[in-house]
Amino acid sequence: MPPALISAFGHLKAAAATVNAANGVLEPQLARAIEQAASEVADLTLIDHFPLSIWQTGSGTQTNMNTNEVISNRANEILGEKERGTKKPVHPNDHVNRSGSSNDGTATAMHIAAVREVEGRLVPSLERLWKAMVRKSEEFEKLGLIKVGRTHLQDAVPLSLGQEFSGFAAQLELGMERVLQSLEGLRYLAMGGTAVGTGLNVFKGFDVQFCEEVSRRTGSKFVVAKNKFEAISANDAIVYASGALNTLAASLFKIAQDIRFEGSGPRCGLGELLLPENEPGSSYMPGKVNPTQCESLTMICARVVANHTGITVGGLSGQFQLNAFKPLLISSFLHSVRLLSDGMNAFRQNCLEGLRADEKRIKELMDNNLMLVTCLSGTLGYDMAGRVAKHAHKEGLTLRAAAIELKALSGQEFDRIVRPETMLAPADKQTMQVQT
């Protein structure tokens, strides 16, 4: 099982012991030993004692009991017991599992782990990548590079390289917003609902105090689930948060793929971007440089999409009072968080920050862009502008030469109208041609 989930179980058991002792339902001496042992689970000191695989019962009961047994044995050691497995004075069920069940416990540990990993790993990585993309957009904008736009993989009207990268930055910013929004649903904890959500064998107020104690221990905000029946029988918050990761993966795939294509070449591709030469690209072709970071990130994104498919199936597969796909759900979610976090860090450090523009190549392609004819539509009309573009392509002429040859415009008129730098934003009304 993922270490982040084991750590979350440690925080859960420590918090439960603290609250139980404070309310007189657990002896203080036992509670202190449980808290110490559970803290060692939380900081992963005892991780070697958690050998169980993901593929177990759908409620996560085996891992919950694994946690109870490890904490019980360690607590008994702390209290002076030399032989493991005695279950005295600290019993794994009666004391460590007090005020909880595998059903509400696993659901709670899932949310604790998810919030801590998203806040501690994903959000910082995403924020660093977003800021690096903003800086790269600003860097390219200062260069004043105007490039060929492309739609349907065909030449289109121009835009600046800085504008293109500002679109990438906006994708990442929106991704951040979606991830942060999805975090709010993960802050609701099921603990206190026990087996089915009724709270059998739990004293009133345990749930509120538990969330306060977990928040104190972890430094992350947690609150009581609005409805514990929902929180145990369904795992919609995990499915929703995975949807945010899935959307982020789609954005990252598009960004990496665009950079990969625009860096294709160096002589026989688009060649507008110069990718960092991190390592030899081929074991056979000397001097070849491959877009390794782009390919790595796109493969990561594909895996995140696959994980989301599994999470979706897991989310819809609960029956009655329990979703019994919890290990699949949380392991897939935490895997996606780790993959995206590491992938974004590597892409930023090894590709984006060293990315450069080939100004000569960008200008060469821009000069040959037939879709500059679009700015002539207001003067010549759509049909004549189309004739100019097709004539230029068929005869191998520049747009200017084609317009003159078809007597559509003089050279002077063409130069006055066709200026790429004026095509990067909406025009003032006063400069617009009136269509007749």
First to last CA, the chain: 71
282 is catalytic: yes
DSSP state of 427: P
Do the Cβ atoms of 292 and 366 come closer than 8 Å? no
- CA dihedral (382, 386, 388, 391) in degrees, to 10, reads -160
Of 53, 282, 393, 410, the catalytic one is 282
Do the Cβ atoms of 241 and 118 come closer than 8 Å? yes
* Residue from 402, 355, 416 nearest 161 by CA: 355
Phi-psi region of 374 (alpha: psi -120 to 50; beta: other; left: phi over 0): alpha
**CB atoms < 10 A from the CB of 288, how many?**
11
By residue count, the chain amounts to: 436
111 is catalytic: no
Tokens representing 400 are 């200017």
- For the purposes of burial, counting CB atoms within 10 Å of the CB of 182, is it exposed (0-12), middle (13-18) or buried (19 or more)? buried
Phi, psi of 277 (to 5 degrees): -90, 85
DSSP state of 353: G
* Residue from 180, 175, 178 nearest 129 by CA: 175
Of 39, 101, 152, 166, the catalytic one is 152
Do the Cβ atoms of 222 and 215 come closer than 8 Å? yes
Which residues, at least 6 apart from 235, have a Cβ–Cβ distance to it below 8 Å? 107, 110, 314, 315, 318, 323, 325, 326, 329
Phi, psi of 30 (to 5 degrees): -65, -40
* Residues with catalytic roles: 152, 282
